[in-house]
Amino acid sequence: MADKTILAIGAHPDDIEFGCPVTVRNYIGQGYTAYYIIATNGENGFKKKSMTRQERISVRKKEQMKAASIVGVKKVFFLDYKDGFLEYTDELRKKLTMIIKELKPEIIFSFDPANLEFDNINLNHRDHRTIARAVFDAVFAAKNDHIYPDRNGKHMVKQMLFFGAHKPDYKVDITDSLQFKLDIFRCFDSQFPNYNNFAAFLKENIIPKDENGRYYEEFRKVDVVQISY
Ligand SMILES: [Zn+2]
């Protein structure tokens, strides 16, 4: 693995679908290979109470894999942390760093660690805040020889694109793929059983749009610059 790889990282199944599925698919269309990492299995964000924890985990993993395959993602790494309890640990940062060193992605997508506005109970979910910080720090650790040395050597990611940003500065026009973005959520039946209502809500209230009726995926862009002197 080398050039032309991208990696998107979420805390739960469906996080990446809110954030950047069309942008990821666009890169795949340009010849990039895409991977996902999902830190928890999302087993506690579940509407039905009748299933066991293991059953809920199984459903959510299957839903995520289906959504990823529709986008054209090569592999989904599940880190299997407990939903709602994601902790910023050295272990989490190390796992992320090792995958980054293995895949050597040019671009990484995840939540924005700078969004600490706490004005949105869902977006500012504890697990989202945690994964955002850990991803940012793993990008640093991956370009360092000594923090987590391993056989894959170090790797410098070129760019981080953070979704869920409070101050986005980069946007991708997804108007022509809007239906694709909405349809992806059909994969997550456990989350959105009333799909038609949800899709209408998503289109109206969640997906950013401008006064001309164009729809976007928005990011805060951070170029990773190696300071040399
Ligand atoms: Zn989430």
State pLDDT tens for residues 165-212: 999 999 999 999 999 999 999 999 999 999 999 999 999 999 999 999
Predicted confidence at residue 1, as pLDDT, reads: 47
CA of 149 from ligand 1 middle (Å) equals 31
Cα–ligand 1 centroid distance for 122 (angstroms): 7
Measure 11 CA to ligand 1 centroid, in angstroms: 5
Determine the longest span between alpha carbons in the chain, in angstroms: 60
- Ligand 1 geometric centre to CA of 141 (Å): 24
In the reported structure, the alpha carbon of residue 211 is separated from the centroid of ligand 1 by a whole-number distance in angstroms of 28
Q: What would the mean pLDDT of 87-100 be, rounded to a whole number?
A: 98
Helix (H) and strand (E) counts in the chain? 7, 7
C-alpha to C-alpha distance for 106 and 86, rounded to whole angstroms:
26
Q: Look at residue 127 and tell me whether its pLDDT is greater than 60.
A: yes
CA distance 189 to 217: 23
128 CA to centre of ligand 1 in angstroms:
6
**CATH number attached to the domain at 5-223:** 3.40.50.10320
Where are the chain's structural domains?
Answer: 5-223
Confidence of residue 50 (pLDDT cuts 50, 70, 90): confident
Task: Look up residue 82 and give its DSSP letter.
Answer: P
* Overall pTM surpassing 0.75 (yes/no): yes
Contact 99, 56 (CB under 8 A): no
pLDDT at 220: 98
Gap from CA of 179 to ligand 1 centroid (Å): 22
Contact (Cβ atoms closer than 8 angstroms) between residue 102 and residue 152 = yes
pLDDT range class, residue 116, cuts 50, 70, 90: very high
Asked if 142 and 97 touch (Cβ cutoff 8 Å), the reply is yes
Burial string for 162-191 (b: 16+ CB within 10 Å, else e) reads bbbbeebebbeebeebbeebbebbebbebb
Ligand 1 mean position, distance from CA 14 (Å): 7
Cα separation of 143 and 119, whole Å? 33
- What pLDDT score does 208 carry? 97
What does the alpha-carbon distance between residue 174 and residue 1 come to, in Å, rounded to a whole number? 28
- What is the CA(145)–ligand 1 centre distance, in A? 32
Q: Residue 46's pLDDT is what?
A: 80
18 Cα: distance to centroid of ligand 1 (angstroms): 9
- pLDDT at residue number 161: 98
pLDDT of 33 > 60? The answer is yes
Q: What is the 80 CA–ligand 1 centroid distance (Å)?
A: 14
The alpha carbon of 132 and the centre of ligand 1 are apart by a number of angstroms equal to: 11
C-alpha distance across the termini of the chain, in Å: 30
pLDDT band at 25 (very low <50, low <70, confident <90, very high): very high
User: How far apart are the CA of 167 and the centre of ligand 1, in A?
Assistant: 19
CA distance 16 to 177: 16
Q: How far is CA 1 from CA 38, 99, 104, 133, 173, in A?
A: 20, 11, 7, 25, 29
